Chain A
Amino acid sequence: MGKQLVTLKLNGKRVEKAVEPRTLLVHFLREDCHLTGAHIGCETSHCGACTVDIDGESVKSCTHLALQCEGAEVLTVEGLAQGAVLHAVQEGFYKEHGLQCGFCTPGMLMRAYRFLQENPNPSEEEIRAGMSGNLCRCTGYQNIVKAVQYAAAKLQQTEKVAA
């Protein structure tokens, strides 16, 4: 049960590390790569606080092995902003008071980021369904829905401007 090498692209940078096969992705990110944005909330894939983006899909990193990311592109909350410019979902959470203790926030942001690419113009019901893999104990979700709506509007505007 020796260590195995895993090579991946993490927030745009190539990372290569030797890990125990049983290393969970969330521990790999937090312990080996020092990216502590993804949090551990339930450990049974119910809370979504550990959500990251792997090859364009939202994944709960507590139930995923680091070795399964061989060759993958992984994006975490730390890679969401472009330099000093916040991503629209980050801005939305800030502007609409979509967070309180902040513990669920990185997972929420990563899910919202991907969800809005899957569904750029969602209804409230679609947002609630699309975000239903992420738990929050503080906000009651209502402002997170608004935050996602804010980000959706902003992203669409940006697209229009670009076009």
Chain B
Amino acid sequence: MNAPTDPKLLERSAALQGLGDSRLRKEDARFIQGKGNYVDDIKMPGMLHMDIVRSPLAHARIKRIDKSEALKIPGVIAVLTADDLKPLKLHWMPTLAGDVAAVLADEKVHFQMQEVAVVIAEDRYAAADGVEAVIVEYEELPVLIDPHKALLPDAPVLREDLAGKTEGAHGKRDHHNHIFTWDAGDKAAADAVFASAPVTLKEHIFYPRVHPCPLETCGCVASFDPVRGELVTYITSQAPHVVRTVVSLLSGLPESKIRIVSPDIGGGFGNKVGIYPGYVCAIVASIVLGKPVKWIEDRIENISSTAFARDYHMDGEIAATADGKILGLRVNVLADHGAFDACADPTKYPAGMFHICSGSYDIPAAYCSVKGVYTNKAPGGVAYRCSFRVTEAVYVIERLVDILAQKLGMDKAEIRAKNFIRKEQFPYTSAFGFEYDSGDYQTALDKVLHACDYKGLRAEQAQKRADPAAKTLMGIGLATFTEVVGAGPSKMCDILGVGMFDSCEIRIHPTGSAIARMGTITQGQGHQTTYAQIIATELGIPSEVIQVEEGDTSTAPYGLGTYGSRSTPVAGAAIALAARKIHAKARKIAAHLLEVGENDLDWEIDRFKVKGDDAKFKTMKDISWAAYNQPPPGLEPGLEAVHYYDPPNFTFPFGIYLCVVDIDRGTGETKVRRFYALDDCGTRINPMIIEGQIHGGLTEGYAVAMGQQMPFDAQGNLLGNTLMDYFLPTFVETPHWETDHTVTPSPHHPIGAKGVAESPHVGSIPTFTSAVVDAFAHLGVKHMVMPHSAYRVWQQLKASGVAL
């Protein structure tokens, strides 16, 4: 669409606040006045409260559960255990990854803080007292924490329920703690390259277990109406429609009798994709007791038991020519999935899109293999602010490229430029089979290097390195990453058999305002603002009068939800195409009203006008009224459309990030002096919101790279599950961010948009590591394990002999 230049047209266009407008957010009015409606804000008459008895041990047999003391506490109504759920066959539930997970521990516990019993009481204080009064006796079992020991012949048997099962959801299981082995690429071709390449290197790259930790914890209010046989559940879910399907499958209630509502969500970041035992128990309790039941996790429960992310132990190998052209890539991953395989990936991809690990580079031969194992840790493995396992993939390739540059004595920008998929190669099919839609990496890299005076930085660094009295070490980090988002083409991607399309329904009201309903759900991304902008530009209706509704399965069309940066690539496309259906009908109506043929009309911002006669036109407002008042003969009245969009491909946003750090040689503290993030997400819908998303993603990336970890001791105790220890940076620690962009639209997306919110997280983490390691590069250090806390970095200072 060409931008108009006529001031009058510009004015009309601006009034729409459509694509490209930094429109202020529609949702803010309620949030800034304390009128948000989060799950814990919901109250219902007669509502009861549920709290959960959890295992203090990581692996143990349950010898006895004594409810009697708890039931004596005033206000306690019921205590449920696995034995109570057994007759309903609800003590286990299916996971999204084809495994089963205990709803309440069935005879044994598999991880610390596993759900053992629930207490339902009249208020949350009594419920908490009840939890403390439930007596559980355990018999301790040997604990398996180190995934490297999971497949030893004498490793403890974790999943007794799987005894004798040699076939899992993703193929053969060859050990009692083995979940799956999955691979991609051409092993023979990669092996051949490695056998003959002039340069090869191998590095173990560990991506620690972290937690998405949204500020709002998980919870729900389940309300079953025994008279109508209807279940309404308000829930912290990034995918309410999927929840409805699962609840229907579990409970036997028809989907038509189930209404799942995701109200305002206080951040998700992948943590709110899964279906947790707490939800199931609250629903069961509501059905059993015939009253609404609320369950809200506390922070410790959130970090300890609901979905973690990462925990990938990666062995990466790269083969190259002596002058730095990459010839081949091999990655072997040991994936710690915890006690139940509850990863939220598309069904066919137990390691998600990890095979994007060839990155932004033209690599002729590549192979990766991922082995998932059980350990005595909480289940999860979600995409924490990234598409499925893309963060891990980007991390491994960016680290390997850095290490290769170092080995060859090349500059890390130079080696990247040398290996980029070139602009003219798009669409580009990678050795793993992904078809990259569009990109222009070199232009973006040049822009960043210039903006940051990369040469100057290198000169400054050389000077600092020459000064033995310098109190700090200076490091320069670089990452040039490509993401794969927008799952996905349903020929490849499904969740529980449901294709990963998304949907939109738009209704234009007679007076020209509109409502759009979506299968996604915002958790802070500002859908209510940005979706309207797409419609505004497509249909010439001001954003201000377009209402966007999401999250209520009774009103919204079926959608797979918001995660993996899929809202704009998938739902955003559904909106544009639904709008285009309306546009086509509007054209018919306009032609009828103006008494000309459809082909005699031109579309201009907000109206159809007769070609060559500016005075003869009908605005969308006129057309809307007419749609309900005098539709053309043979055309049904009304003006609305539904579109289910099944994308032909993923989208491939990319970015170039540069970071400068100064490391205190005394304490190991790392100060981020500069962070420059250039993102290319294709067409930009709302630059203000994009920038906000990037700030947030960078900050979460900073948290992961510099401090987040979930340390377990040998007994399986999770140490550090409060916000005292789990690193969420405050105003003071968070660096200042500089943002920039290029625009390379996706050729297959209706408006050319690619999705953005996760890029900064995915891209920044390897950038930080690159910068920290770079500070030590002149001392021969190739790689350092995250998180780069002061303590860890100090150990490196010490090992390298440069600690003060």
| Chain A residues proximal to chain B, CB less than 8 Å | 20, 22-23, 27, 30-31, 34-44, 46-47, 49, 76-78, 80-81, 86, 90, 93-95, 97, 99-106, 109, 127-129, 131-145
Does B692 contact A143, Cβ atoms closer than 8 Å? Answer: yes
- A47 CB → nearest B CB, Å: 6
Does A47 contact B723, Cβ atoms closer than 8 Å? Answer: yes
| B689 cross-chain contacts in A, Cβ below 8 A | 97
With contact pairs A99-B32, A102-B27, A135-B730 given, residues A143 and B695 touching in the complex (Cβ less than 8 Å): yes
| A127 cross-chain contacts in B, Cβ below 8 A | 731
Does A101 contact B731, Cβ atoms closer than 8 Å? Answer: no
Across the interface, name the chain B residue whose C-beta is closest to A78: B34
Q: Which of A35, A80, A102 contacts B524 (CB 8 A)?
A: A102
B163 within 8 A of A: no
Q: How far is the CA of A75 from the CA of B551 in the complex (A)?
A: 32
Contacts between the two chains (Cβ within 8 Å), count: 174
Q: How far is the CA of A106 from the CA of B732 in the complex (A)?
A: 20
Across the interface, name the chain A residue whose C-beta is closest to B529: A97
B307 within 8 A of A: no
Does B264 contact A102, Cβ atoms closer than 8 Å? Answer: yes
Does A101 contact B266, Cβ atoms closer than 8 Å? Answer: yes
B residues 689-710 touching A (CB-CB < 8 Å): 689, 691-693, 695-700
Across the interface, name the chain B residue whose C-beta is closest to A89: B32
Not counting A38-B34, A137-B267, a sample of 12 additional A-B residue pairs whose C-beta atoms are within 8 angstroms of each other reads A20-B125, A22-B125, A30-B41, A39-B38, A80-B34, A100-B693, A102-B36, A106-B34, A127-B731, A137-B699, A141-B730, A142-B734
Q: How far is the CA of A44 from the CA of B689 in the complex (A)?
A: 31
B526 within 8 A of A: yes
Q: List 22 A-B residue pairs with CB atoms under 8 Å apart, sorted by A's residue number.
A: A31-B123, A40-B40, A41-B723, A43-B299, A46-B728, A86-B32, A90-B33, A99-B31, A100-B267, A101-B214, A101-B215, A101-B216, A101-B264, A103-B266, A105-B31, A127-B731, A135-B723, A135-B728, A137-B699, A137-B700, A140-B692, A142-B734
| A31 cross-chain contacts in B, Cβ below 8 A | 123
B593 within 8 A of A: no
| B696 cross-chain contacts in A, Cβ below 8 A | 100, 137-140
Q: How far is the CA of A78 from the CA of B124 in the complex (A)?
A: 24
| B778 cross-chain contacts in A, Cβ below 8 A | none
Does A103 contact B36, Cβ atoms closer than 8 Å? Answer: yes
Across the interface, name the chain B residue whose C-beta is closest to A107: B215
B86 within 8 A of A: no
| A140 cross-chain contacts in B, Cβ below 8 A | 692, 695-699, 734, 737
| A94 cross-chain contacts in B, Cβ below 8 A | 24-25, 28-29, 32
With contact pairs A104-B215, A141-B731 given, residues A42 and B36 touching in the complex (Cβ less than 8 Å): no
| A41 cross-chain contacts in B, Cβ below 8 A | 215-217, 299, 723
Q: How far is the CA of A40 from the CA of B695 in the complex (A)?
A: 24
| A141 cross-chain contacts in B, Cβ below 8 A | 695, 699, 730-731, 734
B799 within 8 A of A: no
| B732 cross-chain contacts in A, Cβ below 8 A | 128-129, 132
- A38 CB → nearest B CB, Å: 8
B525 within 8 A of A: yes
- A112 CB → nearest B CB, Å: 11
With contact pairs A101-B523, A132-B732 given, residues A137 and B32 touching in the complex (Cβ less than 8 Å): no
B724 within 8 A of A: yes
Per-residue CB contact flags for chain B residues 10-43 toward chain A (1 = under 8 Å, else 0) read 0000000000000011011111111110101101
Across the interface, name the chain A residue whose C-beta is closest to B735: A140
Interface centre among B34, B123, B264, B299 (most CB of A within 10 A): B34
Does A93 contact B523, Cβ atoms closer than 8 Å? Answer: no
- A132 CB → nearest B CB, Å: 5
| A46 cross-chain contacts in B, Cβ below 8 A | 722-724, 728
Q: Which of A27, A39, A132, A143 contacts B216 (CB 8 A)?
A: A39
| B525 cross-chain contacts in A, Cβ below 8 A | 100
Q: How far is the CA of A93 from the CA of B33 in the complex (A)?
A: 11
Does A81 contact B27, Cβ atoms closer than 8 Å? Answer: no
Does B266 contact A39, Cβ atoms closer than 8 Å? Answer: yes
- B29 CB → nearest A CB, Å: 8
| B700 cross-chain contacts in A, Cβ below 8 A | 137
With contact pairs A103-B266, A138-B267 given, residues A35 and B34 touching in the complex (Cβ less than 8 Å): yes
Q: Which 9 A-B pairs have the closest CB atoms?
A: A37-B34, A103-B266, A102-B31, A101-B524, A140-B695, A100-B524, A140-B699, A77-B34, A46-B723
- B239 CB → nearest A CB, Å: 16
Does A128 contact B33, Cβ atoms closer than 8 Å? Answer: no
Does A93 contact B688, Cβ atoms closer than 8 Å? Answer: no
Q: How far is the CA of A26 from the CA of B465 in the complex (A)?
A: 53
B460 within 8 A of A: no
B residues 748-773 touching A (CB-CB < 8 Å): none
B residues 555-600 touching A (CB-CB < 8 Å): none
Does B692 contact A132, Cβ atoms closer than 8 Å? Answer: no
| B257 cross-chain contacts in A, Cβ below 8 A | none
Q: How far is the CA of A88 from the CA of B33 in the complex (A)?
A: 12
Interface centre among A41, A44, A140, A141 (most CB of B within 10 A): A140
Q: How far is the CA of A23 from the CA of B38 in the complex (A)?
A: 21
| B693 cross-chain contacts in A, Cβ below 8 A | 100
With contact pairs A20-B125, A41-B299 given, residues A77 and B38 touching in the complex (Cβ less than 8 Å): no
- A5 CB → nearest B CB, Å: 18
Does B33 contact A77, Cβ atoms closer than 8 Å? Answer: yes
Q: Which of A37, A99, A106, A137 contacts B28 (CB 8 A)?
A: A99
Across the interface, name the chain A residue whose C-beta is closest to B686: A97
B650 within 8 A of A: no
| A106 cross-chain contacts in B, Cβ below 8 A | 31, 34
Q: How far is the CA of A46 from the CA of B725 in the complex (A)?
A: 10
| B111 cross-chain contacts in A, Cβ below 8 A | none
Q: Which of A44, A49, A100, A131 contacts B731 (CB 8 A)?
A: A131
| A129 cross-chain contacts in B, Cβ below 8 A | 731-732
B736 within 8 A of A: yes
Per-residue CB contact flags for chain B residues 519-552 toward chain A (1 = under 8 Å, else 0) read 0000111100000000000000000000000000
Does B266 contact A142, Cβ atoms closer than 8 Å? Answer: no
Q: How far is the CA of A43 from the CA of B24 in the complex (A)?
A: 32
- A1 CB → nearest B CB, Å: 11
Q: How far is the CA of A99 from the CA of B385 in the complex (A)?
A: 17
With contact pairs A39-B38, A94-B25, A137-B700 given, residues A101 and B730 touching in the complex (Cβ less than 8 Å): no
Q: How far is the CA of A86 from the CA of B728 in the complex (A)?
A: 30
Across the interface, name the chain A residue whose C-beta is closest to B298: A43
Q: How far is the CA of A133 from the CA of B730 in the complex (A)?
A: 7
B269 within 8 A of A: yes
| A86 cross-chain contacts in B, Cβ below 8 A | 32-33
B158 within 8 A of A: no
| B728 cross-chain contacts in A, Cβ below 8 A | 46-47, 135, 137
Across the interface, name the chain B residue whose C-beta is closest to A35: B34
Does B34 contact A137, Cβ atoms closer than 8 Å? Answer: no
Does A97 contact B734, Cβ atoms closer than 8 Å? Answer: no
Does A36 contact B524, Cβ atoms closer than 8 Å? Answer: no
B52 within 8 A of A: no
| A42 cross-chain contacts in B, Cβ below 8 A | 299, 722-723
| B487 cross-chain contacts in A, Cβ below 8 A | none
| B31 cross-chain contacts in A, Cβ below 8 A | 99, 102, 105-106
